[in-house]
Amino acid sequence: MCPYEYETYKNTKTWNEEFNKCEKDINNININNNNYYIQENAVFVLDNRAVQGNSHFNFSAMGGIKEIGDFCFKNYSSASLKELVLPCGLTKLGFGAFENATTLTAVHLNKSITKLPYKCFAGDINLKEIISPFATIEVEDGALCMCERLVSHPKFMYAKYVAYEDNCTSKFCKIQNVTIPTSVNKIKNRCFKQLTSLECVKVMNATCFIGKLCFVGCSNIKSICLDKSVVFDKHLVFANLSSLTAIALPTTLTKVRNFMFKNCVKLEDVTMQDQIVKIGDSAFQNCKCLKTANIPHNVIKIGYSCFKGCSSLKEIYCTSSLHFPVSSLYGVDAIIKIN
């Protein structure tokens, strides 16, 4: 089978997966001892996975390429691929086109590429520079996943309807306000970890699952708005979110976990649902701006050091049978009022 097996339109040929059997570069192909030559006036489309893992592609001969398919150069690793200059005629860059191209250090985009598709450069661990004729480029989920060394690039902004799957790409976009759409049913572990630009998160899907360590290190987040039916990972806490001011816990939560809001020094308002039966150790320790605590009727246990250091706490509403350990109110001058 010839590696360009069918024409898409006049003078345009598509390279398919048979390219993986090639022994020479794109100008002179040898398959089963038969030579095939590129026509100089032809425009080429690289089909999905056409060159995946192949180490013989001549990147200096990219001038006639119009489209690069999904995962076309995935796992491509060669000394010849360090600085990638996309040809002027290129109009499409597919999903994961250069995923895990670990030798790639620089990319020059053309005027037709205004968006980095899903996983386009994911896993390109040595990528340091992306050059574009535009000041701002849209990115889809995972487009820059694991590109930790990328230091020079245009301004990135998320495309519409992303699922925020990748922490690294989110950091590059420097997102401030995030609304998780109803189409997203899971927020992955560490999704927003150390995302210091983040200020507000809204989760719209009632059945959304929020993974562990999702907000750890988000020092500037002020508001987390959750649907009442979202589900937390059993290890999810909001400790040390020093800018968080308010949160309403979902009805699916039955325990305010140990250390859940410890050191949330600006937290003023926490809404706990009636499904809560226990408040854990140090759950609200050092929440210095918390003035009132409304403890649900079904709570039967308050943990050690629960409200320790809550210096602004003045009123606690609870049932008459609820017992507070001495350490739970250390440094607190609050009046306990019976509901």
Task: Tell me if 1-166 shares its fold with 237-339.
Answer: yes
**Cβ atoms of residues 146 and 122 within 8 Å:** yes
For residues 67 and 321, give the distance between their C-alpha atoms in angstroms, rounded to a whole number: 71
Residue type, 270: V
The tens place of each residue's pLDDT in the chain, 339 residues long, gives 333 333 333 344 555 554 444 434 444 444 444 444 444 444 577 878 877 776 667 776 666 788 899 999 999 888 888 999 998 888 999 999 999 999 999 999 999 999 999 999 999 999 999 999 999 999 999 999 999 999 999 999 999 888 888 889 999 999 999 998 888 899 999 999 999 999 999 998 989 999 999 999 999 999 999 999 999 999 999 999 999 999 999 999 999 999 999 999 999 999 999 999 999 999 999 999 999 999 999 999 999 999 999 999 999 999 999 999 999 999 999 999 998
Tokens 């309807």 locate to: 161
Cβ contact 19:54 at 8 Å: yes
If phi > 0 it is left, if psi is from -120 to 50 it is alpha, else beta; for residue 18 that is: alpha
CATH topology assigned to domain 237-339: 3.80.10
Q: What are phi and psi of 188, to 5 degrees?
A: -70, 160
- Supply the pTM of this predicted model: 0.77
CATH of 1-166, one of 3.80.10.10, 3.40.710.10, 3.40.50.1000, 3.40.640.10: 3.80.10.10
User: For residues 59 and 52, is the Cβ–Cβ distance under 8 A?
Assistant: no
Cα 328 from Cα 102, distance rounded (Å): 53
Give residues with Cβ within 8 angstroms of 185, minimum separation 6.
205, 207, 208, 209
Q: Which of 233, 133, 228, 230 is nearest to 188 (CA)?
A: 233
Can you give the residue ranges of every domain in the chain? 1-166, 237-339
